[in-house]
Amino acid sequence: MINLEIPRKFKPLVRQAHETAAEVLRPISRKYDRAEHSRPVELDMMAAVIDGMNEGNSDVGGTGATGVRRDAADASQGNRNGTNISTCLSIMELCWGDVGMLLSMPRQGLGNAAIASVANDEQLKRFKGRWAAMAITEPGCGSDSAAIKTSAKLDGDHYVLNGEKIYVTAGDRADLVVVWATLDKSLGRAAIKSFVVEKGTPGFELVRLEHKLGIRASDTAHFMITNCRVPKENLLGDPEVNPEKSFAGVMQTFDNTRPLVASMAVGLTRACIEEMGQILKDCGLAVDYSRPLHRQPSAVADFVRMQADYEAARLLTLQAAWMADNGRPNSLEASLAKAKAGRTCVDVALKCVELAGSIGYTETSLLEKWSRDAKILDIFEGTQQIQLLIIARRLLGKSSAELK
């Protein structure tokens, strides 16, 4: 039976993550929002601390949830609260502090989660302790990952990569970039593979860093890939093209990273709600949970609805993580969590700005910044529309060809 209370063994981790968010991340949040593309040097000293917080939770980084594949062997041992739950809980706390700061922490990239999900033991050992970004999106390929055009051709002991990648989170600061590419475009989804490219590899060129609406503390890179030779040992997963399993193996990454992004949204949503609650209190508006909403002030009724949406998003996220820890397929639940948490975060952040009036619209409060940070959480790792499409396919039993 699933129990979504914080496991006792993880309470010290949650407390430590919250202290980090409160004492380190939030105080410098506005500073690096204004100084876009400046590296948050204060986070360098935090890297070792975060590694310690996650000791034993991941082989390659704090956000490296291990996923269904590596936890399935423990499914017969009963309920298990493992790396996925602990990682989601710590992310919720850290993003209560600042989402961009989490994404800027050394060795905490989403590429680390991709490696942890599908890498073999030798790769896990080789890439341990290194910061990995993930490059999927292309100028002509956003939510439809199967439309990837970046190519990979085997040439002796190397794959030769050619293509273009945009919106690579932490791409400039990371040590490694997990690049999605196709072995044969004519074979469609089945030929999509992921390759670990080390920074400094000839042919892997940084074009620019993007100026963004939110998460400005985090760098977002654009790369050109021209005849970039990558050792064949850096391919993640099975090198064979199997129409039934290849793309599914790559997509397993999303089953593990989408709950992480949902956790980011949950953390930011809670920050907005707590700030709004304090503003309401300062205005003399108290929530009376014993009275129906229609008999309370409109702002209070909106606040209670936001709390309900927050709780639904939090529980869906923990459910998806718990299923991964217990070896249960969680593609549907991961998309449910991502869709609900992403949309809730945007709606709550904007509603808080609205209710707070001038306080929410100016830099007097962090609500203004959070409303900008929120939107990306409904976009990356699969947009709201894509999540709803995946959910519909799962519920109706339709393939991607049958339901587009």
Q: What is the pLDDT of residues 302-336, one digit of tens each?
A: 999 999 999 999 999 999 999 999 989 999 999 99
From first CA to last CA, the distance across the chain in angstroms is 35
Per-residue pLDDT tens over the stretch 83-116: 899 999 999 999 999 999 999 998 877 888 889 8
Q: Which of the two residues, 393 and 253, has the higher pLDDT score?
A: 393
Q: Does residue 304 or residue 248 have the better pLDDT? A: 304
Which tokens hold the place of 94? 């850290």
pLDDT of residue 1: 59
Give the Cβ contact number of residue 282 at 10 Å: 9
Class of domain 1-404: mainly alpha
What's the whole-number mean pLDDT along residues 360-389? 95
Number of neighbours of residue 321 by Cβ within 10 angstroms: 31
pLDDT the model gives residue 59: 40
pLDDT at 79: 79
Q: What is the mean pLDDT of the chain?
A: 89
What residues are labeled active site?
381
Instruction: Write down the pLDDT at residue 77.
Output: 58
Q: What is the DSSP string of 73-115?
A: GGGGGS----HHHHHHHHHHHHHHH-HHHHHTSTT--HHHHHH
Query: What is the predicted pLDDT for the residue at 108?
Result: 78
For residue 341, pLDDT over 50 is answered with yes
What value does the mean pLDDT take over residues 2-11?
84
Asked if residue 342 lies in contact with residue 373, where contact means CB atoms within 8 angstroms, the answer is no
